[in-house]
Amino acid sequence: MSAQGDPRLLIARPLTAADFAPYGDVLDASGAPDKIINQGMCGRFHDRAKLDFDADGRAGISIFQAEPRGLPVSLDMVERHPLGAQAFLPLSRDPFLVIVAPDEDGTPGTPLAFVTAPGQGVNYHRNTWHGVLAPLHAPGQFAVVDRIGAGENLQEFHFAAPFCVALHPDDTRGALKRP
């Protein structure tokens, strides 16, 4: 979403499953658990992400340590992974910036920006254009589930002119405040 006619200004909005559905899955423990397990002491929110990998890859879990970003952020590049999905699960309850873009004949269209709520992660579907990992607070640690295997699974696209990503001035979620 751009603001006041400036097509290069993206206003980050709250991440919702409905808005994010064309690009991937929101990973959270919303709603009632699908199952109660562990002697009634644990709710299981079952199968929240579509982990789609090509036949030559397998799922792997890595830990990422990313430097926090200050807003506004300049967005000059997005990437995608043609051979597999990629899920980001924060290891803290701090919000992070999520940027996606529709595919328009092999290149990204106008990006969209979201801010997660505490406890939300994301799974980018295979071939989804997305921004780099952008925590808004330290420590910036994430468990990442993605494809491990041979083959070129990274495509980058550099915009001719950068976008500016900012929060709405009336941001009531307090994305820059620690929960």
The domain covering 1-6+54-163 belongs, at the CATH homologous superfamily level, to: Ureidoglycolate hydrolase (2.60.120.480)
Which pLDDT tens digit goes with each residue over 95-104? 999 999 999 9
Which pLDDT tens digit goes with each residue over 43-82? 999 999 999 999 999 999 999 999 999 999 999 999 999 9
Q: What is the pTM of this model?
A: 0.90
Looking at the predicted structure, is the pLDDT value of residue 3 above 70? Answer: no
Domain ranges for the chain? 1-6+54-163
Q: Identify the three-state secondary structure at position 161.
A: strand
**Angstrom distance (rounded) from CA 76 to CA 63:** 25
> What sign does the CA torsion over 121, 126, 129, 133 have?
positive
